[in-house]
Amino acid sequence: MIDEPFIESILQKGKEAKEKARIGFSNISLDQLNWKSSDNSWSIAQCLEHLIIADGSYFSDLKEIAGGTYKMSFWEKSSPFTATCGRIMKNQLQEQVKRKMIAPEKIRPSASEMKLDVIERYHKSLDTFLEYISKCRNIDIDKTVITSPIIQIVTYSLRDAFYFLIRHEHRHLNQAIRVKENDGFPK
């Protein structure tokens, strides 16, 4: 089903993410960008890089879908687990953290310090992501099924992917903002 109101709501959440990042990180120093409260936590830069990598892992499929050249695989057409996988992903990747998760290695950020350009790279990545979503206004997002870029047997509808990916965006922006609110954060 073509669902323009849903696409518009996702795009609005994307604009809110962009504004959250702009307000939160436009005037931070390199030390602040790379500061971590512990060895087991992420810096602001790592949160942003994780989003760049995670969102980018969907770009090739989204480009094909938006361009009308996407062809679902046999598994995407026939997997009996698509709805279940979508439900699980929507439940796990909420904006507010229910439980801490370990990011799959394929989409983990670098452990080394990053430059300030990670903020600009994040904004460009988010713009690209939102542009692809916008170009899916005339797509049946319930019947278009994609495969997880992390686990090849996991499939979900484009609707479910948009739903959990935009919440994942806010989840890690919120995490980055919490880094700034830590008592030890450099001033």
| pLDDT of 1 | 64
Can you give the pLDDT at residue 100? Answer: 77
Query: Cβ(13)–Cβ(93) under 8 Å?
Result: no
- Phi-psi group of 2: left, alpha or beta (phi > 0 → left; psi -120 to 50 → alpha; rest → beta): beta
Contact 136, 65 (CB under 8 A): yes
How far separated are the first and last CA of the chain, in Å rounded?
50
**Residue 175 DSSP label:** H
Q: Which amino acid does the sequence have at 65?
A: I
The pTM of the full predicted model, rounded to 2 decimals, is 0.93
Regions in the chain scoring below 70 on pLDDT: 1
Q: Identify the pLDDT of residue 99.
A: 72
Q: Give the residue among 42, 146, 45, 152 at the shortest CA–CA distance from 97.
A: 42
Does residue 170 contact residue 20 with C-beta atoms inside 8 Å? yes
CATH code that applies to domain 4-181: 1.20.120.450
CA dist 79 and 151 (Å) reads 14
What percent of the chain is helix, strand and coil (3-state, nearest 5)?
A: 60, 5, 40
